[in-house]
Structure 1
Amino acid sequence: MKKIFKIVLIAIVFVSCKQNIEPTDVVKLNGYWEIEKVDVEDGEDKNYKINEFFDYFEIKDNQGIRKKVKPQLDGTFVVNDTYENVKIRFENDKLYLDYSTDFAKWSEEVITLTDEKLVVKNEENKEYYYKKTGAINLTGNGKTTK
């Protein structure tokens, strides 16, 4: 009986440690995000070692865009005119990203949002783990890209 009580107590501690995302944290979304892995409910997780595309967010006044960008070796990005509209929604102490295009609408719950880490969960309970990234520059003898 004592073991069960300890397990329940530990579980409560872990659940209560969930990050509270505040409205002031939304600006942390802005920038380039590289996907690291996707956790799927049935256990078939997928890890990404190299990514051809990054997600770019530009949010202001709780709305903006997300688009896919392709990093180049010289520190630039290839972009096109395709993007998703994003609206920020707070509901029941949770942050949601509401996406829309001409063809679809969907939402993702933000589980974690820091300066370097983003975790979102979609309606299929898939969790997407991202890390903050920037331009890649493998030219110029190691000079950094501005």
Structure 2
Amino acid sequence: MKNTFMILVLSLLFVSCKQEIKPTDIAKLNGYWEIEKVVFDKGEDKEYGMNENFDFFTVKGNTGTRTKVMAQLDGTFLTTNTFEKFSVRNTDKGVFLDYNTDYAKWTEELISISDTEFVVKNDQNKEYHYKKAGPINILNDGKETK
């Protein structure tokens, strides 16, 4: 009986701790993001140090794109014309980003989001932890980066 009560309390705690993501929070995805770490389904995680590649998100309403970009030494980003389109789907179970390319379709659940970080989980239960990327100017050439 005591164990059942403890499991019930812990279950309620985990359910109540999940962030409620509002439709207005989706706009926080706009900008440059880098992967900080990946947490695998068995609990182990892989930390990422300095990244050369970033994800650039643009979201308008319930649709958006994610483009892979590469940071340059002067603080700018090099990009290609390849991108992934996604749509935002709000359900009673959570918020999902549904991707659709010519080659594949997949979904990621948006677990949490703030101005400086967000977490998504894919169908393999891998959690991708992103942090907002700021400009990098290694050249220190006096130019202001954006």
Same fold (TM over 0.5): yes
Q: Which amino acid aligns with 2:12?
A: I
Per-residue CA deviations over 1:43-78 (Å, capped at 9, x if unaligned) read 342110121201110011211210110011101111
Range moving further from structure 2, 67-76 or 87-96: 87-96
For residues 110-129 of structure 1, the aligned pairs below 5 Å read 110-129=110-129
| Shift in CA distance, 70/15, structure 1 to aligned 2, threshold 3 Å | same
* Paired position in structure 1 for 2:80: 80
SS in 2 for 1:12: helix
Matched, 1:19 2:19: yes
* Paired position in structure 2 for 1:134: 134
CA RMSD of aligned residues (A): 1.9
SS in 1 for 2:120: strand
Q: Which amino acid aligns with 2:125?
A: N
What TM-score results when the alignment is normalised by the length of structure 1? 0.90
Q: Which amino acid aligns with 2:81?
A: D
Whether the 8 Å CA contact 1:107–1:123 is kept in 2: the answer is yes
SS in 1 for 2:57: strand
Matched, 1:105 2:105: yes
CA distance in 2, matches of 1:5, 1:109: 30
What's the offset of the Cα at 1:4? 5.8
- The percentage of aligned residue pairs carrying the same residue is 55
Whether the 8 Å CA contact 1:20–1:93 is kept in 2: the answer is no
CA distance in 2, matches of 1:43, 1:113: 21
SS in 1 for 2:15: helix
Unaligned runs of 5+ in 2: none
CA distance in 1, matches of 2:13, 2:142: 45
Unaligned runs of 5+ in 1: none
Q: How many residues align?
A: 146
* Paired position in structure 2 for 1:62: 62
